[in-house]
Structure 1
Amino acid sequence: MLPPAQLAILAASVVLFVPMGLAGWHLSRTKMLFFSGILFIFLFAAVHVAPYFLSASHLLLASVLFPSPRPYPLLPPSSCLPFLHRISWTRAPDPVWSWDRSAPVHSCGFQCISNRDASILLNGSWILVAGDSQARLLVLALLRLLLDPASLASIEPDLFKRHSDYHIAIADRGIKIDFLWAPYERNITDLLVREIQPVPRYPDVMVLGSGLWHMLHVTNSSHYGESVSRIKEAVFSLHSPVLPHMFWLGLPTLIKSKLNTDEKRERMSNAMLEAYGREVARTKILRQSGGPLVLLDVRLLSQGCGAQCTDDGMHYDGVVYNAALQIMLNALVIESEQRIE
C-alpha cells in the first residue's frame, strides 16, 4: 500500500497530465475543463479514503490467510487457586507429573519453580512446617529444591531424626526453615497459641497438617474434626497486620495391602480416610470453604502417582511431595500478586 503522500503526488500527476493528453486528441477546451474537474474531485476523494479502505482490506485479508491463534483469556489471580491441583501423571517408566493443558490451567500460567526463582520468591522468608512424617517429607522436597546435592546429603540425617524438630537457615538467601514435630492436632494448636501468637513476628509461610497418628491411635473421625476446629480457632486468634500464607497438608491415599502392621491395616482404612476428609471439610478450615488455609491435596497427588510410588502404603516417593511443593509455590506467587495489587 502506498503512503498518503505518494498517493497525493500520483493524483496530482494524473490531474495534470491526463487532461494534457486529452487536449492532444483535439477535445474542446470546455470538455477538457469539465473532465479535469470531475477527475480532480474523484482523485481527491480517493486519496483521503484509500488509506482506510486499504488498511481494512489488508487486515481482513491477513485474518483470512494468516489467522492468529486465539489465546486463552487471562484469569484474575484469585480465580487460579481452584485449578492448582489440575495435574496429569505419566507413570511409565518413572512417574512424572505436569499441569494439564485445559483452558483455565493454561490461562493461569502455572510453572515449575526453579531453584533460582524459588530463592527469589522465598528470599528473606521464615517458613514453618508443623506436622507428622508427611510434613517432614514436604520439608525434604523444599530442601531438595533450594540446596545442592552435596549440602542436602550432609543434612538429611539430622532432618530425619525420629520424632524430632529440625531447623535450618540458608544464610545467603535469608531463608529460615523450621520443622516442628507435631503428630497430633493438639500439638499444632499448642504451637499456634503458646509459641506463635506471643512472638512479635509471625512466619511468612506456615504449613500445618496431621491425622495419620490420630487415625492409628485414636481412630475417631468426630474427635479428629473437633481437634481440627480448634486449630482453625487458633489460626483466627493470630493478630497481625500481615498474616502468614497458610497451607493445610492433606492426608495421603492409603494402600491397605502395603501397610506394614496389622493395627494399621485394621484402623487405617479407606472408609476411615473418607470420614477424616469429611471432618476437615465440615470444619471449613480450608480456603475452598471460606477458611484460612489453602489445601495441599496429598491424597489426590498420591492417588495420581499410584501404588508404585509407595513402599509402606502411606509415605510416598519424592515426586508426590515435589508436586505438593510446586503447588504451594505457585499459590504463593498468586497470593503475592494479589497483595501487591
Structure 2
Amino acid sequence: MAVDTNAASVEAAFHYQDVAALYLFLKNIKELKSFEVEGEEDIDLIWRNGKKSYIQAKETVSPYETFNVQYIKKALAVLSKDQEECNNDDIKSLTFLTNSHFPFGKRAGHEFDNDDYIFFTYQDLPPKMQRKVASLMESLSNSIIDYKLLHIIKIEYYGSDNATRLRVLRKSIEEFMDSAQIPSNKYQTLLHHLLFMTSSSSEFQNKTIEKNDFAGYASLVYLDDTSRIEKFFEEFDISHTNEEYIRNQYSQYLSSLTVDPHLINKVNQLVINYNTDHPTPPQSRRSYELDFINKNYKKLAPDLGISNYKSESLEVAKFIMWLIIINNANFKSLKEAIF
C-alpha cells in the first residue's frame, strides 16, 4: 500500500460513490463484512450473513433541480438485472442512491429534502413516488424488480469545496472516531487514509475492501505519526546520522505494507513470548520497552519490506515497533469499534 502524502490530490480524485460507500460502511460497520466500489455495481455491501446489497449511485451537479428520469430508469434496469442473475435469498437490498433532493420531481413531494441522509423502502415511499417507480419499471421491457428489496437513499453531496461536499461523510467519520476513541485532531489524517483506501480500490474492479483493510488504514493515524519522533530519538539514543534517515524514510517503509492487524498482532505475540521468557521483566516501563524492542525489532524488518540490514534501516523497524507498543490501548479501542 503506497500511501499518497498529497491529501489534495487524493481528495480531488474522490467521487460521489466513494463518499457514499464509505458513509454506508461506517453507518453499518458492525453488521458488514466488506464493501466494493466499482465491483458488480457502483457499490456493493457484503453483510456478515453473506447477503449483498447492490447499489446504483447517480449523482447530479444540481441536486435542488428535478433529477433526470433517464438516470433512474438506467439504475432500475441494472438493479433488475442483478435480481435476475442472483438468488433473491442472497440479496439484502437493491438500492437506488442519489444526492438529489427531488429524485422523482418536485411535484412528487419534498420528503428527500428534509435531511442530509434519507432512507426509504419502496413500501414507505409516498404514493406519488411509488407510482413513478412503477411507471418507470413498466417502461422497461422484460425488466422486473422485487419491490420488497427496493430501497431509495439520498446522501448529500454538493458544494463548491471539499469541506462542503464531504460534510455528511465527516459526520460519520467523527462518530466512528468517537466510538474508537480516536482524538479529534486526527480527523484530517484519518480522512486522508480512508479517501486513499476507497478511491484506489475503485480503480480495480472487484477489489473488495475487507474489515481488516479498513482497520489497517485506520491504524495509520497512529503508526504514521511524526509527533513522537523526537521522544523516540531521545529514548533510544539514535545517532544524528540515523535521525535524518528515519525522518525521511520511515513512512516509505510503513506504506510498503498492506497494513492490516497482522503487524500489530505480530508485535503483540512477540510481547507474549518476551514476557514468557522474562518472568521478572525490567521494573520501569521505559526499561521494559527498551529491552523488549532492542531484542525484537529485527524480527519486524521483513514485514516492513526492509531487506538491507544497515543500522539506519533497522532503526526504522525499531521506531515502528515502538509506535505499536505505545499505541496498544488505541488499537484495542479501534478493533472494538470495527469488529
Q: What's the TM-score once normalised by structure 1's chain length?
A: 0.26
Max radius of gyration: which structure? 1
Identify the structure with bigger relative contact order (alpha carbons < 8 Å, sequence gap 6+): 2
Q: What's the TM-score once normalised by structure 2's chain length?
A: 0.26
